[in-house]
Amino acid sequence: MAEMAEIREPKDRHEAEAAIRQLTDEIRYHDWHYYVLDSPVISDAEYDQLLARLRDLEQRFPDLRDPDSPTQRVSGQVRPELGTVRHPSPMLSLKSAYQEDEVRNFDKNCRQELGRQRVEYVAEPKYDGLAVELIYRNGRLEVASTRGDGQVGEDVTANVKTIREVVPVLITAPGEMIPSYLIVRGEVYMRKDEFQRLNRQRAEAGESLFANPRNAAAGSLRQLDSAITARRPLHIFFYEIIQVEGVSFTTHWEVLNILPRWGLKTDLAHVQLCSSLEEALLYHRQLEKIRDELEYDLDGVVFKVNQLSDRERLGFRTRDPRWALAYKFTPRQMTSRIRAIRVQVGRTGLLTPVAELDPVHIGGVEVKSASLHNQSEIERKDIRIGDRVLVERAGDVIPYVVKPIKEERNGSEQVFHFPETCPVCGAAVVMSEDKKAAMCTGMTCPAQIKKRIVHFASKRGMDIEGLGEKMAEQLVDQGLVRRLSSIYQLRRQDLLALERMGEKSTDNLLRAISASKSQPLDRFLYALGIPLVGEHLARVLAENFAGLDELMAASRDDLDRIREIGPAVANSIASFLANPDNRAVIEEMRQAGLSLPNPHFKRKAAGRLPLSGRTFVFTGKLERWTREQAKAVVESLGGRVTERVSADTDYLVAGPGAGSKLDEAKRRGIQIISEDELVRLIKER
């Protein structure tokens, strides 16, 4: 199969005929991958585009339309080994809309047909799973089938019975009716976390991976051996009643609320009754915003006319009902081709393989590269250079390669070999045993330094405006900055000589650099880029150590004892601070005038000694000890003794004859204690 065929705009009938044939073949090929193999080779959005193109051509050349055209029927094929079931009424699909005006059109048509100002809709998630139909006779599950080609589906009764959320017999509450005959439809799905777990297990067992939860659900349900299905974590939401005897309803909303009482789960937490289109549109926006937080995948929402009598009046088209519409979310997956794989060096020296792609638009953004995470992932997914791949971009996440489309390989694809030396500085690369991390060992690797500078100067770090990526690049390339501390040695004439640096921007940058010297300790610790230490842990460190000296003097065990710091982090901090190069850089910065105030230090939390972090001042006469003895006692218990009362003083120990220090302490509201109280304090702690 070629890449998504470039079908030119047909010039004449002859060309249109050829284009229709090509599109039809292509769509059938994709249907087969999707429905039979549970392994699509293009994204849903691309499939919809093909179908839309075919529909357009058929509209322009109606006589060329084949009665069996994919536009005329519900796609899908059956796995004959499963046995087949003819649907009592065909399982149709839903018309899809990607734009708001298409949705407004749908509403307008409904209103016109019904002669109504406003139509009530039920808005539901459009689950990205596998549609099933269940038939209950006299309350007993008789048969369950997949959609198949819409007329005939696969018999998956035994498999569906293994799903814990499916009741084999409808529940009857005392005094309530259950239908004597019921055809109900729903979606079988797998939760996102369960899908991840299943794929991890499959990777460990050397089995092929599912591309997404939908394929995993479909693959699991369409097993010949129900014992396999039973081991897969499948769930179901019911969303439509097709036929019911013995009970009647007037609205779809009632249906969704009654089904759970019979034991048929509906998604009541997420469905919504909307009194107008505007409400339904709002629902779409809100659900799209939180889609990542939901347990399951959804690719849009479905709007359904609520009144069942209205539905009857609206009726059906060939493939889909006129009373419902799927309003899709912005697509997140597209296919592209890997032109090359390059390796990026991060600030800590971590090397990340990145795929360079033929540019594609995903969710309104042009994507030219995508993360491949690490060597282990590349091997697990068997990604090769030249592969056609499925790329996903979701929200703020960096685009990544979901899977290669192996069916489209032509033999020219190449296996990627991770470089043994750093592509930037040439130093040796060390790879972890599990192949999940590769590090550049170069101490002076320019790529690392540039990234470290940018991080150091970032808004949440030392906040040096004007020192972004471009500037860091110039500073390193011109040899002006070789280590972080050189930032504080930059001279006016050095900066003026750089590209695009005038007097004003130079002065601004120097001023920003100078201002950063009084940033607090926690920002500095974050800005240093100690592996595993983010903003939060930097703050925890600042809360636990009075200053940088105290932190640098701390042992691995001291760090490990802090509640929020685990052994790995303790190890990372201790090794970073023990490294002579890092110590030299830090010392140079302090020489340059970094003051590193620490407003976050929580005296009580610090250290292990009873008086750690506390400052004492003595005044007046002591009875029990001499001043020297008292000072030695306090210091041996971790406290500090100073001569003068200041903002840092925690306690003034006052004996008879206290003078001006007592007044000063009172003025400042500092706690004043007697010698006896000091003894009690020591014993208490």
Binding site for ligand IVH (CB under 6 A): 92-94, 124, 126-127, 131, 187, 239-240, 302, 321, 324
Q: Is 240 exposed, middle or buried (0-12, 13-18, 19+ CB in 10 A)?
A: buried
Catalytic residues: 126
Distances, alpha carbon 240 to alpha carbons 45, 186, 507, in Å: 25, 7, 68
Rounded CA separation 56/62 (Å): 10
CB atoms within 10 A of CB 69: 16
CB atoms within 10 A of CB 455: 20
Q: Which is nearer to ligand IVH, 300 or 461 (CB)?
A: 300
For the bound state, the minimum distance from the C-beta of residue 122 to ligand IVH, rounded and expressed in Å, comes to: 9
C-beta of residue 306 within 8 angstroms of C-beta of residue 120? yes
For the bound state, the minimum distance from the C-beta of residue 321 to ligand IVH, rounded and expressed in Å, comes to: 5
For the bound state, the minimum distance from the C-beta of residue 147 to ligand IVH, rounded and expressed in Å, comes to: 6
Say which residue the tokens 């769509």 belong to: 27
For the bound state, the minimum distance from the C-beta of residue 529 to ligand IVH, rounded and expressed in Å, comes to: 46
Q: Which is nearer to ligand IVH, 44 or 522 (CB)?
A: 44
Q: Which is nearer to ligand IVH, 122 or 449 (CB)?
A: 122
Q: Which is nearer to ligand IVH, 124 or 675 (CB)?
A: 124
For the bound state, the minimum distance from the C-beta of residue 213 to ligand IVH, rounded and expressed in Å, comes to: 13
For the bound state, the minimum distance from the C-beta of residue 560 to ligand IVH, rounded and expressed in Å, comes to: 50
Give the DSSP letter of residue 35: I
Q: Which is nearer to ligand IVH, 93 or 674 (CB)?
A: 93
Crossing angle for the helix pair 567-578 and 580-591, to the nearest 10 degrees: 70
Rounded CA separation 256/264 (Å): 9
Distances, alpha carbon 634 to alpha carbons 39, 381, 609, 683, in Å: 72, 62, 10, 12
C-beta of residue 455 within 8 angstroms of C-beta of residue 529? yes
C-beta of residue 409 within 8 angstroms of C-beta of residue 387? yes
Q: Using DSSP, how many helices (H) and how many strands (E) does the chain show?
A: 24, 24
For the bound state, the minimum distance from the C-beta of residue 93 to ligand IVH, rounded and expressed in Å, comes to: 4
C-beta of residue 299 within 8 angstroms of C-beta of residue 126? yes
Residues 6+ positions from 248 with CB-CB distance below 8 Å = none
For the bound state, the minimum distance from the C-beta of residue 533 to ligand IVH, rounded and expressed in Å, comes to: 44
Cα 483 to chain centroid, rounded = 34
Rounded CA separation 365/99 (Å): 17
Bridge partner residues of 401 (DSSP): 391
For the bound state, the minimum distance from the C-beta of residue 69 to ligand IVH, rounded and expressed in Å, comes to: 18
Residues 6+ positions from 442 with CB-CB distance below 8 Å = 349, 422, 424, 425, 426, 427, 448
Q: Which is nearer to ligand IVH, 17 or 288 (CB)?
A: 288
Q: Which is nearer to ligand IVH, 65 or 322 (CB)?
A: 322
Q: Which is nearer to ligand IVH, 154 or 387 (CB)?
A: 154
C-beta of residue 274 within 8 angstroms of C-beta of residue 123? yes
Rounded CA separation 93/73 (Å): 9
Task: Give the residue nearest to ligand IVH (CB).
Answer: 131
Rounded CA separation 262/168 (Å): 11
Nearest to 525 by CA among 447, 603, 604, 594: 594
Q: Which is nearer to ligand IVH, 321 or 461 (CB)?
A: 321
C-beta of residue 244 within 8 angstroms of C-beta of residue 174? no
